Amino acid sequence: MTSIKDVAKHAGVAISTVSKVLNNYPNISEATREKVNKAVEELNFVPNSVAAALSSKNAGRVALMIDLNVKTQAIDEMAMRYISGAITKAMELNLDVITVFVFMFQDKTTEELIRYLQSQSISGIIIYGAAEDDLVLQELIASKKFKCVCVDQNYVGDGISSVTIDHKKAQYEVAKKLIEESQAKKILYISGYEKSYVTRSRLQGIKEAALENDVELIIKDADFLEEKAEEVAMQYGRDVDAIVCASDLMALGAQSAMKELHLEKPICGFDGISLMGYVGQGIYTIGQNFSQISAIAMEELHRLMMDEKGQIIEVEYSLIRN
């Protein structure tokens, strides 16, 4: 295992000097910088990140907090994109990442989770879609023990950033498209889990769209669940001209209901999961680039870890027709 020591010897300088050029310290002469870099090359040296993490206080170790608890299968696709986007970017930025599934801490306290992260020398975390009633996650953020970027949230603060698309605007646009095309005068909006930022934002969007277009709105919750959306659509779908859903999966549920009722109603979803490509016949949806969002979140976390201040970053989305 070639170490920084070997490099130092090979380059004829002190260990600390090697460390300094490795970490781009100022006050290093170009000459020694080159000497060291040459030695690094020749020895194929790769610094041991575990040792670095141990010794340094601003260790570049971050955790991905994935919450699969949302009762949805197709969540796998999003989670996977999130994870791969984050890890790929982390590699570029020289950050080490551990992946934590929130369900693994189901019956643990916030303190236990914090201690676990600390035992891993984690200094930054990315939280994907923390619901407001997920106390542990909320307390985790509030603890301020870690730099923190939230995906699909609007938290900002000291060491806290968020990255998200404009859910309100996106919901507004897709709904408007549907309304215009279908000339709907009355629509059913199937909403998501109420304790979530995205649900509220999208709700605002649909309301605005309805108001502006003089459309009557029936709003029902389905907790992002396909089956529940199907039930809701069965019950209320008959009397409306179109159905707008806060997620693709719920849109599929609504679609099933319409099929069963032998009704043809325009439907739209939200997220752009690939399943829609198979079964979302002509359904409009909002496409999100999950892996890009996650990469941006990682970059933002990196910024926070350099003690820059928190911000909200808005990411592009796209209007898709399946």
Closest distance to its own copies from the beta carbon of 278 (Å): 5
Residue 73's binding partner out of its own copies, DNA, none, with CB under 5 to 8 Å set by partner kind? its own copies
Q: Are strands 242-245 and 267-268 parallel, antiparallel or unpaired?
A: parallel
Identify residues 56-75 at the interface with its own copies (CB under 8 A): 59, 61, 68, 73-74
Query: Which of 21/122 has CB closer to its own copies?
Result: 122
Contact partners, residue 75, CB within 8 Å, separation at least 6? 68
Q: Is residue 77 involved in binding its own copies (CB under 8 A)?
A: yes
Residue 261's binding partner out of DNA, its own copies, none, with CB under 5 to 8 Å set by partner kind? none
Other CB atoms within a 10 A radius of the CB of residue 41 amount to 10
Interface with its own copies: number of residues (CB under 8 A): 44
Q: Are strands 267-268 and 312-315 parallel, antiparallel or unpaired?
A: unpaired
Please identify which residue in 41, 51, 80, 92 interacts with DNA, judged by CB under 7 A.
51
With tokens 């919901």, the residue in question is 171
Closest distance to DNA from the beta carbon of 29 (Å): 4
Closest distance to its own copies from the beta carbon of 312 (Å): 28
Please identify which residue in 41, 58, 239, 314 interacts with DNA, judged by CB under 7 A.
58
**Interface with DNA by CB under 7 A: which range of 44-52, 81-89, 160-168, 273-281?**
44-52
Other CB atoms within a 10 A radius of the CB of residue 187 amount to 26
Q: Judge whether 223 and 217 are in contact, CB under 8 Å.
A: no
Kindly state the DSSP code that residue 271 receives in the 8-state scheme: B
Residue 12's binding partner out of its own copies, DNA, none, with CB under 5 to 8 Å set by partner kind? DNA
Please identify which residue in 16, 23, 29, 48 interacts with its own copies, judged by CB under 8 A.
48
Identify residues 232-291 at the interface with its own copies (CB under 8 A): 252, 274-275, 278-279
Kindly state the DSSP code that residue 29 receives in the 8-state scheme: -
With 0-12 CB in 10 A as exposed, 13-18 as middle and 19+ as buried, what is 262? exposed
Closest to 188 (Cα-Cα) out of 172, 175, 169:
175
Residue 99's binding partner out of DNA, its own copies, none, with CB under 5 to 8 Å set by partner kind? its own copies
Q: Is residue 120 involved in binding its own copies (CB under 8 A)?
A: yes
Query: Which of 8/298 has CB closer to DNA?
Result: 8
Q: Is residue 102 involved in binding its own copies (CB under 8 A)?
A: no
- What long-range pairs does 269-272 form, CB within 8 A, spacing at least 24? 269/245, 270/170, 270/171, 270/174, 270/202, 270/245, 270/246, 271/78, 271/247, 272/248, 272/318, 272/320
Residue 56's binding partner out of its own copies, DNA, none, with CB under 5 to 8 Å set by partner kind? DNA
From residue 147, alpha-carbon distances to 125, 143, 161, 312 in Å are 6, 10, 9, 14
Query: Which of 46/262 has CB closer to DNA?
Result: 46
What's the rounded Cα separation, in Å, for the pair 235 and 10? Answer: 76
Q: Is residue 29 involved in binding DNA (CB under 7 A)?
A: yes
The Cβ-side half-sphere exposure at 168, using a 13 Å CA radius, reads 9
With 0-12 CB in 10 A as exposed, 13-18 as middle and 19+ as buried, what is 16? exposed
Q: Is residue 143 involved in binding its own copies (CB under 8 A)?
A: no
Binding stretches for its own copies (CB under 8 A): 1, 44, 46-51, 53-54, 59, 61, 68, 73-74, 76-77, 79-81, 83-84, 87-88, 91, 96-101, 104, 111, 115-116, 118-121, 252, 274-275, 278-279
Binding stretches for DNA (CB under 7 A): 1, 3-5, 12-17, 19-20, 22-23, 26-29, 31-33, 45, 47-48, 51-52, 54-58, 119
